Structure 1
């Protein structure tokens, strides 16, 4: 399948997904499924996840596993809050980038120079980030300091001086609210498209647009430049890259430091949203970003889809007032699994290689059986459940997200040398 046809398939898949969401919304009457408010919230929730995942993508494409994204993100939030209250939002942006890059540098020194196991180093960064930031808060924000007088505490910085640099885009956010009017009509598909477009374009700030633009920029740098080719070769076969004159150590260092900077930028975004640093405000988004990156098969487009999925699930949970939207999501999941089951059956019936079918039959039949059971259970829940307890409302979107991840995980391919300890001249 050519690259162009893959893009066409992706567009068809997005169109089919929107059509399915519109159908479920029309049948169930749950407008929040495709409302502009839901998609605006999903966009804001997906951006820090996507930035963290983008950091993981840079590191792992160079062959360094980075599960320390959460710790690097925490460092980005603290340094952004510390610099922001003193010198304003631009200083917060730069300090957050440097804070995350510092975490990436520590990870690079441990894994690239000293050969520490990548997982152990990442866990250490995740422990180090919150510990260091708590220590710095206790030293710099204690009673009697200027920061404490400005409203700081051990668990939070003062507010950023001056409004965070997040102005709305004039073209997308101003002018007649045509999308809002179309959304209010509740027409099938038309209102849903209007709600989605309004949520993704109304009151959008520049930082969100910059974060989105980093995805195609990463794709261009990693897949269409000589530097990107050297970086990816370090993640696939560093000894072959070494034989061609590539400085693998330097490439890995650059990639991991950039990885930390992107995670720190995700922390800056969180600080700008709340206008200050608050302890624990990352809430595991670094780990979710890593999951989104894996879901996206270590590619920017797939990463964007994974971050959007997690952001939408979280937004749906936040906007669900009486759990009716979550119940309607059972129908959405049932139809989605049914479509997956139909595609699997068609592919199996169309196969002209019986031997391959026999070899892979057990796995295929198991997946099909699980999908069929999921269709029955989700459809039954939609028919019988009227309202969910609050605890289940909290966890249901994540369960459905995990189901989608389970389906998508069948075609994952990580870089071949990802996590491999590299030493110059030592062929493995």
Structure 2
């Protein structure tokens, strides 16, 4: 273990040429490698195994929390302990909780990590190594660092103190005693190891900013949220325009992935076919049983069927009955339809009558604008009576019309008009109809 740790003890500033793979990989690929590494560490911690990542180790150790009715609760606490050589070389403070020496620390299994993301194993190993070298350079320069382990926690460097804050769901899952929740609620010291909403309890004090790993970004200050990339960039090449010449994915693993997908799809297809068959033949045993019971029962003697003439007569009677039924249905339908049409016509007539009555009530001169609706013989009879009455009232031998015409003055006839007919027209010999 010491041989691997000495690689991260930097006496001089880190040469960018030692980060050749980080230049070729994208930020998304680097984060993908460390996400798979964090998942691997969490699986090992669930099995109560300690994991050495190079500069330190993760483990689950039994501790006692000042909580509960008795004032002491046994809980399984996840911890991270920095390597002793790294801690002494960079003059960092000791952590309060330490991993017992009898616990064996397993190194990272790069092959298992690479299989989950279908990367080549050397790519995963070198990516982890160069990222830890970048962290060692930050330790040497006394810079603030936040190293995010997805679904695990945040490793923070503030001054000379290195602290690992775990997420609450991770701490609750790694505890096998079931006392983690009351311990967190009752003991404030236990609550200090929890990272809330992706942040730790240490405030950033550096003016130069904080390095965020594994994104290889630099958050400028406490007030500004802008992030500047500190990832080493590859140099432009005349033949490729800066394109990398590193193959990240393992072709063998990709082939296995395609085969596993094909096998899984075939198994899923077979399961669907089995489900369809089960649904299709779900009632088959019951039908077979009923059929067997019918076969076992004795058949009744065959009765002579009706003759052809009787069958034809019955068919004719049935047809006539059906024809009568259809005719009755048609009659009922026509009667109901006729009632609907009559009701609709009566409703329209009532609406028209009401509308005309409203219009006449609003216009008092409607009789002047409209003709008299009475018959012509009634109008002639009434007109004749008015003529007789007026003739009786005037002097004998003269009339208003004759007097007006003889004087050659402006004439105004006092006789009532008859069917829009003037007195001059009547004197010219207009036909009189009774």
Instruction: Identify, as 1 or 2, the structure richer in strand.
Output: 2
What TM-score, normalized to structure 2?
Answer: 0.17
**When the two structures are superposed, what TM-score results if normalisation uses the length of structure 1?**
0.17
Larger Rg: 2
